[in-house]
Amino acid sequence: MTSAPPFEASLSSRIDPRVARDRPAEHPQTPGFIEHAHTSEFRIATHWTHAWRWLETPETFSEGQFWPYRVDFLAPESGSPAGFHEGGLNIHHGPLLSLPGRLDTIEETQDGAYRSLSYLYGSYVLSLRLLRPTRLEFLVLGEGDAETRVRLRLSSDVVPWAEKPWSRLQEVFWSRLGNWMATSIGAKRLS
């Protein structure tokens, strides 16, 4: 059985040394599945706080979804606003997709930020028998005043024969994120 590689320590240790921690308690290892991790990275010409603000805005993920897909947020406590808060719940759902999750870590420093969303047991893409995402992480690092590196990692349990198609699907899906972010905040994508 293969294990998911950790975030590159030289980048992530500045934000959260726990990035390479154990899998979420909410999602134990699925028997007969292997661990898979997709990592994507890009750079944009903007201060890191602009990129982070975009990632921390619920409307970034809830507006513009193709019907019948949707992202819903639930506040961790009644009376508080729904959105990105530690303990907050959300779900990305639609045909062949159910990804309920809990935000377990949101941290900011003076030069970057980190967020971890743990998917709950029963989360799936296409079928519960094929693809079970377990965690989605974002790392945003400032590189001076006018450049930002954004890295994401999606960890999943997959049936062994679906590993390569799942990798390819992730490459295609996440390749759009850098352009989407840059266009939305009026920045230039550098890589």
pLDDT at 9 > cutoff 60? no
Residue 15 pLDDT class (50, 70, 90 cuts) = very low
pLDDT tens for residues 110-129? 899 999 999 999 999 999 99
Amino acid at 160: P
> Which of 13-27, 35-49, 171-185 shows the lowest per-residue confidence on average (mean pLDDT)?
13-27
Q: In the chain, what percentage of residues exceed pLDDT 70?
A: 87
The torsion angle over the Cα atoms of residues 181, 148, 164 and 28, rounded to 10 degrees, is -90
Question: Average pLDDT for residues 29-46, to the nearest whole number?
Answer: 93
pLDDT tens for residues 136-178? 999 999 998 899 999 999 999 999 999 999 999 999 999 999 9
Distance CA 127, CA 180 (A): 28
* 83: exposed, middle or buried (Cβ count in 10 Å: 0-12, 13-18, 19+): middle
pLDDT at 77 > cutoff 50? yes
Q: Look at 48 and 17; give whichever has higher pLDDT.
A: 48
Domains, the chain, in order of start with CATH, read: 30-189 (3.30.530.20)
